[in-house]
Amino acid sequence: MRRALISAIAVCAAQRFQKKAREFLHGLSTDELQYIAEFLGACVLESLGRSALSRRELADGIAQFEQVRRARAACLGDQEHKMIVLLEYLCRSRIYSAVLSSRIQMLR
């Protein structure tokens, strides 16, 4: 399962950053990988293909994702840590384009 998560998440990165993304992902726990995969999956389902986002907009989108997730989950654990790991992955892999567009627009 871990290898499948790493492969699936890494392929979401911009092509020239996939190797670095894969290296970054290898250092994460399965729980952290699942968190990133859940976030990316939610974004893919909601994506409308809008323009690039800033790091601040990514962070805002992650915070909104976490609010929705907390409402569903009873166990909060180390969510702030996972949010930081997710933000680092998104920025390192250059996933700026449509990843959070619809989530950002919903907040405005």
Parse the chain into domains and list their residue ranges: 2-107
- Mean pLDDT score, 70-76: 61
Query: What's the mean per-residue pLDDT of the chain?
Result: 77
Question: Can you list the alpha helix ranges (DSSP code H) found in 1-108?
Answer: 2-10, 18-26, 30-46, 55-72, 79-92, 101-107
**Alpha carbon distance 10, 5 (integer Å):** 8
pTM: 0.66
Q: How much is the pLDDT for 6?
A: 94
DSSP designation for 27: T
Q: How much is the pLDDT for 61?
A: 80
Q: Where are the beta strands (DSSP E) in 1-108?
A: none
Q: How much is the pLDDT for 27?
A: 95
Task: Please report, for residues 5, 30, 50, 95, 99, the alpha-carbon distance to residue 107 in angstroms, rounded to integers and kept in the order given.
Answer: 29, 30, 15, 20, 15
28 pLDDT above the threshold of 90 = yes
